[in-house]
Amino acid sequence: MKAENARLAARVAELEAQMGRAPIDRASLYRMTDAAPWGALVMNAEGVLDYANPAFQRWLLKPAPAADEAAESVVHPPLMDALREPMAKALQGEQTIFELTLDDRAGEVRHLRLQVAPRAAGNMGVTGVVVSLYDLTDAQTLDRVARANREQLARVNSVTPSANYLFDFETGSSIWVGGNTEAVYGHTVEELIAGGGDLVRRLIHPDDFHHVGRRLAYLAQRPDGEVSEFELRVLRPDGTYRWILDRAVVFERNANGRIVKTLSAAIDIDERKRAEERRTLLINELNHRVKNTLAAVQSIARQTLRSERNPAEMSEIFTARLVSLSAAHDILTRENWEGAGMREIAQVGLAPFDETRITVSGPEVRVTARAAIALSMALHELATNATKYGGLSGDVGGVALTWRTRREDDRVLFELEWREFGGPPVAAPKRRGFGSRLLSQGVRADLNGVAELLFEPEGVICRITAPLETPPRPDQG
C-alpha cells in the first residue's frame, strides 16, 4: 500500500507539473485526471474554481459547480478550513503535504492525504493552486483489519496446543505459522525457521517419514477440504521420541491442479499413545487374571465336590475358600496387582480365624501377585485344618507362623513355616485331602517351590520354600 501511495503521489506531481508548464494541454490533462482514483482540485490565485475531478466530488457542496465559482462556496467547509493555510503557502511557491481526519458531507469519518502545490504558468510565476487529495480510509481500514487479524492470530497461536505450518512440496520445506511449537517439537518457531527443512527431516523418526509422501498421494485423489491425518514420532532435544498427530488440508494447487502446499496442525499425543499402550496391557492382563481366577474357582469347586461330605458342609467349605480368594484379590487390587506384602497377606488371610492364638513374625517381604494368591490360599487351608483338627481346635494350643529369606548361590529363597502346638495328638491321614493337594500343587505351580507337610505328634508343621521374585512397589509403577 505504501508503494502504491508513492506511485500515485509521483503521478500527481507529474500531472501538476504538466498543468503548470503547458496550459494549452489543460483540457487533455483534465480528461486524464477524470479517471484518476485521487481527487484533484485546481483554482486560480483568487481562489476561483477552475477544475475538480470526479474523485473530489464527495468534498464539494454541489455536484457540478461552475468553473468560475469561488472554492470557499463549493468546497466542504471542514476541508476548506484545513486548506486555507497550505493554499496561502502555495501562492508563495511552497508545497505542503499533510494528512488529516475529518467527516465528509455524509458524516463518514475519512482519513486524507493532501498535497497542496503552486500552479505555475511559465514566466507568469504562480497563477493558482493545485490540491491533490488521496483518501486513505479504505487502505487504513484494510491495514487495521490485517493488523487486528495478525494480533488475533498471534493470540490464538499463543493458547493453541498445536503447531501450525504450511508444507511446500516443491521445496520440501515448512513455512511456520506459529502455535505451540515448543510443546510439540521441542523447538521455537525461530529455531525451526533457522533450521529449515533439514531440521524438520532430522526430527521425524526414520520409520515414520514415509507418511509425508503418502499424504501427497492421498490428498491428490481427494477434494480440497478433506483432512489427512497420521501419527508419527518426533525427536526431542533430550534425545527421546514423542508421538504427535499431524492433520493437514490442501492449501494451494498450481494451474495443473498439482498440490503445492498443505496447511497442517500438529499436536502432542504422546500421553494418549502411552495410555493406549497401558490400556492394551491392562486388558491383556485382565483377561489373563480372569482366566486364572476362573481356573482357580473351577479347581476349588471340583476338589470340594469330590469330598465325601454332605451338601451343607461342602457349601460352607466352598464359600470359605472363595472368600479367601476374594480377600487376596482385594489386597492385590489395592496394590494395582503389582504384588503384596507378606504381613498383609497373613493378616488378611488369617482374619476369619482366632488371631489371638496365632503368632506371626518375619521381615517385610513383597511377593508377586501370583505368589500372593497361592500363599493366601495355603494359609486359609492350614488355618481351616487347624481349627477343625489341630492347634486351634480346642481351648488351648496355637500356631506359630514365621518366614525369612536367605541367599543361596545367586538367588534369594523365601522360607515359610507353619507350626501348630498344644492341640490333640496328630496322626498322618490315610489319604491326601484337597487342602494338601492345594498346598503342594499351588506352591509348585505358582511359587516354583516345594511344600513339605509333616504330621508330628505335637502338631502339624508345613514348610514352604520357593525362590523369591520381588515385584515393583506401587510407587515405582
Do 334 and 461 share a domain, yes or no? yes
Looking at the domain assignment, is residue 280 inside a domain? Answer: no
For residues 31 and 37, what is the distance between their CA atoms, to the nearest angstrom?
13
Looking at the domain assignment, is residue 285 inside a domain? Answer: no
Do 80 and 165 share a domain, yes or no? no
For residues 347 and 151, what is the distance between their CA atoms, to the nearest angstrom?
66
End residue of a domain, out of 113, 141, 169: 141
Do 313 and 352 share a domain, yes or no? yes
For residues 19 and 124, what is the distance between their CA atoms, to the nearest angstrom?
13
End residue of a domain, out of 88, 112, 141: 141
Do 251 and 356 share a domain, yes or no? no
Instruction: Assess contact for 29 and 19: CB atoms under 8 A.
Output: yes
Looking at the domain assignment, is residue 213 inside a domain? Answer: yes
pTM of full prediction above 0.75: no
Domain range enclosing 87:
2-141
For residues 213 and 348, what is the distance between their CA atoms, to the nearest angstrom?
60
Do 172 and 240 share a domain, yes or no? yes
The pLDDT tens digits of the residues spanning 33-84 come to 777 788 888 889 898 988 888 888 888 887 767 667 888 888 999 999 999 9
Looking at the domain assignment, is residue 201 inside a domain? Answer: yes
The pLDDT tens digits of the residues spanning 134-187 come to 888 877 777 777 677 666 666 666 667 788 888 888 887 777 767 778 888 888
Please give the grid coordinates belonging to residue 337.
496387582
Do 367 and 437 share a domain, yes or no? yes
Cell 457540478 found at: 64
What's the number of domains the chain is made of?
3
Pair type for strands 398-408 and 358-361: parallel
Do 367 and 461 share a domain, yes or no? yes
Do 218 and 189 share a domain, yes or no? yes
In this predicted structure, what is the pLDDT of residue 23?
A: 45
In this predicted structure, what is the pLDDT of residue 331?
A: 81
Looking at the domain assignment, is residue 93 inside a domain? Answer: yes
Do 328 and 253 share a domain, yes or no? no
Cβ-Cβ contacts under 8 Å for 103 (sequence gap 6 or more): 78, 109, 110
State the Cα torsion 187-190-191-193 to the nearest 10°: 120
Please give the grid coordinates belonging to residue 248.
493437514
CATH of the domain at 201: 3.30.450.20
In this predicted structure, what is the pLDDT of residue 181?
A: 82
Do 409 and 465 share a domain, yes or no? yes
Report the chain (477 residues): mean pLDDT per 10 consecutive residues: 55 53 54 76 88 84 74 90 93 92 87 90 80 84 71 65 82 76 83 79 86 78 85 90 90 88 88 87 73 68 62 73 79 80 92 90 92 89 90 92 92 94 85 67 84 90 90 54
Question: To which H or E segment does residue 128 belong?
Answer: strand 126-135
Looking at the domain assignment, is residue 291 inside a domain? Answer: no
In this predicted structure, what is the pLDDT of residue 116?
A: 93
Instruction: Assess contact for 110 and 137: CB atoms under 8 A.
Output: yes
Looking at the domain assignment, is residue 298 inside a domain? Answer: no
Do 85 and 196 share a domain, yes or no? no
Taking Cα atoms as reference points, which of 35, 149, 130, 61 lies closest to residue 91? 130
End residue of a domain, out of 219, 240, 268: 268
What phi, psi does 394 have (nearest 5°)? -110, -165
CATH of the domain at 332: 3.30.565.10
Do 206 and 327 share a domain, yes or no? no
Cβ-Cβ contacts under 8 Å for 432 (sequence gap 6 or more): none
Looking at the domain assignment, is residue 326 inside a domain? Answer: yes
